Chains A and B, each alone.
Chain A
Amino acid sequence: GENVEQHPSTLSVQEGDSAVIKCTYSDSASNYFPWYKQELGKGPQLIIDIRSNVGEKKDQRIAVTLNKTAKHFSLHITETQPEDSAVYFCAAGLRYGQNFVFGPGTRLSVLP
């Protein structure tokens, strides 16, 4: 089955700096890679996703890149703000599949 690793487990950046979170997956059949943000006391919420036929996708300050050959994908947040502080989860799976495998999460702290 699919296995997803995520690094780093914690990340602290100064406000305005960039943050990068990296994930690797094991199943070459996976073709859909979402990123979820979880704020304290809340359920995860989708912030961006990418399909395997796309190498990069951007939405304002957030971007995701995918390297299918190396089986890794990354989340990039530019111009970080205090409200970006949260736990971020990557996931991998089949686009039309019933479930995805989530990584263990990265706790991002943006210091003012």
Chain B
Amino acid sequence: NAGVTQTPKFRILKIGQSMTLQCTQDMNHNYMYWYRQDPGMGLKLIYYSVGAGITDKGEVPNGYNVSRSTTEDFPLRLELAAPSQTSVYFCASSSLGQGASSYEQYFGPGTRLTVT
């Protein structure tokens, strides 16, 4: 199993450009999450999904959009990139509500995004 994979690993965007961060998990997890991590800060939840077709806002959703058409994929869309969106983005998944004994979130390796 690859676990949670994210692409790209690094990206530089110009202000106003758009891009999609890809996230795929092969563990058949129902829950998926997007976080951003700013230097010296903890993880802030952007959006999460409890299953295909269902998404909801987290703590810092402004400037982002998500979709969940399949169990495996949870892409994050940035429209009109701004310098404030410079951060490291992590995707995660978990099996909450599937009878699992663990509530662990499995994280991908991250995407480092710079907006200039």
Which residues of chain A (28-85) have a CB below 8 Å from chain B?
32, 34, 41-46, 49
Q: Are A44 and B107 within 8 A (Cβ)?
A: yes
Residue of B nearest to A89 (CB): B42
Given known contacts A44-B90, A89-B42, A102-B43, A96 and B107 CB-to-CB distance under 8 angstroms: no
Q: Are A42 and B42 within 8 A (Cβ)?
A: no
Of A32, A43, A100, which contacts B90 at CB under 8 A? Answer: A43
Q: How far is the CB of A74 from chain B (nearest CB, A)?
A: 17
Q: Are B41 and A49 within 8 A (Cβ)?
A: no
Q: How far is the CB of A57 from chain B (nearest CB, A)?
A: 13
Q: How far is the CB of B93 from chain A (nearest CB, A)?
A: 11
Residue of A nearest to B112 (CB): A41
Residues of A within 8 A of B58 (CB): 99
In the complex the two chains form, what is the Cα distance from A9 to B58 in whole Å? 25
Given known contacts A43-B90, A104-B40, A104-B42, A99 and B48 CB-to-CB distance under 8 angstroms: yes
Q: Are B103 and A43 within 8 A (Cβ)?
A: no
Residues of B within 8 A of A6 (CB): 42
B97 on the A face (CB < 8 A): yes
Can you list 30 contacts pairing A with B, beta carbon distance less than 8 Å?
A6-B42, A32-B103, A34-B105, A41-B109, A41-B110, A42-B109, A43-B4, A43-B92, A44-B43, A44-B105, A44-B107, A45-B107, A49-B103, A89-B43, A95-B103, A96-B96, A96-B97, A98-B31, A98-B96, A99-B33, A99-B45, A99-B48, A99-B58, A101-B59, A102-B42, A104-B40, A104-B41, A105-B40, A105-B41, A105-B42
B residues apposed to A, CB below 8 Å: 4, 31, 33, 40-45, 48, 50, 56, 58-59, 90, 92, 96-97, 102-105, 107-110
A residues apposed to B, CB below 8 Å: 4, 6, 9, 32, 34, 41-46, 49, 89, 95-96, 98-105
11 extra interchain contacts, Cβ-Cβ under 8 A, other than A46-B105, A105-B41?
Answer: A41-B110, A43-B4, A43-B90, A44-B43, A46-B104, A96-B97, A98-B48, A98-B56, A99-B45, A100-B105, A102-B42
